[in-house]
Amino acid sequence: MLSVQNVHAYYGKSHILHGVSIEVAPGEVVGLLGRNGVGKSTTLKTIMGLVRPSEGTIAFEGRDIDGMPPHRVARLGIGYVPEDRRIFRLLTVIENLRTGLDRQGVTDRRREELLEKVYQRFPVLRERRDQAGGTLSGGEQQMLAIARAIMLEPKIILLDEPTEGLMPRMVAQIREIIGVLHKERVAILLVEQNVPLTLEVSSRIYIMEKGVVRHHAPAAELRANNAVIHQYLGI
C-alpha cells in the first residue's frame, strides 16, 4: 500500500536520507528502529510531504506521492502524529479534532460517530473538550495528537515516538490504541526508541543507520534473537 523506494532527502545542505526503502501493506504494523539522528523522523516527514525527496519515489495505493504537498497527502489517507505532538495549543480540544473532522464528504452523522468513538477511547478528551490544547498534560496531548490523526479516517498512520516522555501507564494506553487501530485495519508505521514495545506490536521491523535501512526482518525473528538489535542500537 505504501511503498518508499530509494529515497534521498536533505535538510538544507545535510544529506540525511541516503536511499531509504520501506514497504507497508494494508493493515500492517511496521516498526522503524534506529539510534537518534539516523533519519527515522525525516523518513516519516518525507512520506508526509513535509520534506521533498531529492531522489527516489514514494507511492501510496499505486499513486506517486513524492513531491505532493502535505495537505493532499493527508487527504489521500495518511495521518501523521509528529515527534513533539504539535497539537494546536491555542485551539480547544474539540477544535483540534475538528481540523481533521471538517472534511469534504463526511456527513454530520459520521462526524458524530467518529467523535463519539474517539471520546470513548480517550475519555479525558471528552472531559477537556473546551479547554485549550496547551493546558493539557504531556500524556493528554499525545492522546489528542493521535485522536486528531484518527479524525482523518486514515488508511495508515505515521507515528513518531509516541511514547517519548510518557509514564508507563500511558505507554500501556498507547500499546492499547495501536492494538485497536490494528484491529480496525489501519496500518501503522511506528518510529520508536522503545524497543520492547515495538517488538511486541509490529509484524515487521526495519532498522536504520546513517540514513539507510540496514536490516529488515519479521518481528518474530528479532524477538527470538536480539543480537541484531544490540548491534544496531547498542542496548
Partner 1 sequence: MTVPFDLLLVQMVNGIVSGMILALVASGLTLIFGIMDVVNFAHGELFMLGAYVGTTTLVVTGSFWLALLVASVTIALLGAVLQITALRPLLGRDPLTTILATFGISLVLQNYALWQYGPVARKIQEPFTGQFQLFHVEYPWYRIVIAVLSAVIIGGLWLFMKYGKYGIWIRATTQDRIMASAMGIPVPLVHTGVFAIGAAMAAASGVLFGPLVGVNHAMGLDFILKAFIVVVVGGMGNLGGSILASIFISLLEAFASIWMSPAQAVIVSFVVLILTLLFRPTGLFVPTPK
Q: Which is nearer to partner 1, 115 or 207 (CB)?
A: 115
Cα-flanking dihedrals φ and ψ of residue 195, to 5°?
-65, -45
Q: Does 103 bind partner 1 (CB under 8 A)?
A: yes
Q: Does 129 bind partner 1 (CB under 8 A)?
A: no
Q: Does 67 bind partner 1 (CB under 8 A)?
A: no
C-alpha dist (Å) from residue 58 to 35, 73, 77, 78, 137: 24, 11, 14, 13, 35
Q: Does 119 bind partner 1 (CB under 8 A)?
A: no
| Residue 97 near residue 151, CB atoms below 8 Å | yes
Q: Which is nearer to partner 1, 44 or 229 (CB)?
A: 44
Closest contact distance (angstroms) between CB of 45 and partner 1 is 9
Residues that bind partner 1 (rule: CB under 8 A) add up to a total of: 25
Which of 24, 152, 222, 229: binder of partner 1 (CB under 8 A)? 152
Which of 8, 18, 35, 75: binder of partner 1 (CB under 8 A)? 75
Residue with cell 459520521: 110
Which of 19, 27, 56, 70: binder of partner 1 (CB under 8 A)? 70
Q: Which is nearer to partner 1, 102 or 127 (CB)?
A: 102
Q: Does 88 bind partner 1 (CB under 8 A)?
A: yes
> Which chain residues interact with partner 1 by CB under 8 A?
48-50, 69-71, 73-75, 80, 82, 86-91, 95, 98-100, 102-103, 148, 152
